[in-house]
Amino acid sequence: MNDKKPLILISNDDGVTAKGINELINTLRPIGDIIAVAPNAPRSGAACSLTVTTPVFYKLNHEEEGLKIFSCSGTPVDCIKLALHSIVPRRPDLVIGGINHGDNSAVNVHYSGTMGIVLEGCMKGIPSIGYSLCDHNPDADFNPLKKHIIEITSEVLKHGLPEGICLNVNFPLTETFKGVRICRQTRGVWSNEWASCPHPYKDNYYWLTGSFQKSEMAEDCDAWALSNGYVAITPVKIDVTAYEVIEPMKKWNLSF
């Protein structure tokens, strides 16, 4: 590892063997030294979850000049916590999650293991970015994303990010992008979320599924950008306080 090049810590939630993370590693090697610490199995929908009832292991899978790849038994957030505690030789300049096989825009930010990685990096004070492609295909074509990922990553290295703020970058499924939009999170709700199947001996079992119903389609929303062929960059905050209700709630009748 070269002290003069940026050090980039990478993880994902699709697992260390997924195409997306390996394409991300290859894309970013020209601009930094890479340490990847990623789950040893798929962890989609892991959010910011932690492993608390079992211990966590990691092992080195691959090493060459400027690159080390580890697999880890924990969640995506465990990967970042463990990497920062035990694996990296110095504080990384960036934490990057992805490239996720699937959309993390709108309220999906809350369920996303990719964004769990990014929130964790951000909570540790490191500029952090999540990259996701709106395509669940395990062999998705990430080539159209590469120059944009280099550009966005380089801009974050140059400008940094304010304390407590990270980026959720989603790419639409199209070969050419119309441009990039700095967006806000789209309001909406998941519905029809379970497919039930009869169990051979008792009751049903349920598979998570569902469709996302956007409740708005304004031009400043990430879902609008993606539906219209734009790359959506949604800046995300660690501080989730609803400041606007603090004063009104002080008038509630809470007689302590």
> Rounded to the nearest whole angstrom, what is the least distance from the CB of residue 73 to a second copy in the complex?
9
> Rounded to the nearest whole angstrom, what is the least distance from the CB of residue 134 to a second copy in the complex?
17
- Helices 19-28 + 146-159 axis angle, to 10: 60
> Rounded to the nearest whole angstrom, what is the least distance from the CB of residue 55 to a second copy in the complex?
4
The residue (of 3 and 247) whose beta carbon lies closer to a second copy is: 247
> What span, in angstroms and rounded, lies between the C-alpha atoms of 69 and 16?
8
> Rounded to the nearest whole angstrom, what is the least distance from the CB of residue 3 to a second copy in the complex?
24
> Rounded to the nearest whole angstrom, what is the least distance from the CB of residue 253 to a second copy in the complex?
6
The residue (of 4 and 248) whose beta carbon lies closer to a second copy is: 248
Asked whether the beta carbons of 15 and 41 are under 8 A apart, the reply is yes
Rg (CA), the chain: 19
> Rounded to the nearest whole angstrom, what is the least distance from the CB of residue 174 to a second copy in the complex?
12
The residue (of 138 and 205) whose beta carbon lies closer to a second copy is: 205
The residue (of 22 and 105) whose beta carbon lies closer to a second copy is: 105
* Tokens, residue 114: 């990719």
Asked whether the beta carbons of 182 and 189 are under 8 A apart, the reply is no
> What span, in angstroms and rounded, lies between the C-alpha atoms of 149 and 180?
12
The residue (of 8 and 221) whose beta carbon lies closer to a second copy is: 221
Q: CB-based contacts of 208: which residues, under 8 Å, 6+ apart?
A: 45, 193, 194
Asked whether the beta carbons of 148 and 231 are under 8 A apart, the reply is yes
> What span, in angstroms and rounded, lies between the C-alpha atoms of 37 and 61?
10
The residue (of 4 and 251) whose beta carbon lies closer to a second copy is: 251
Give the end-to-end CA distance of the chain in Å, rounded to a whole number: 58
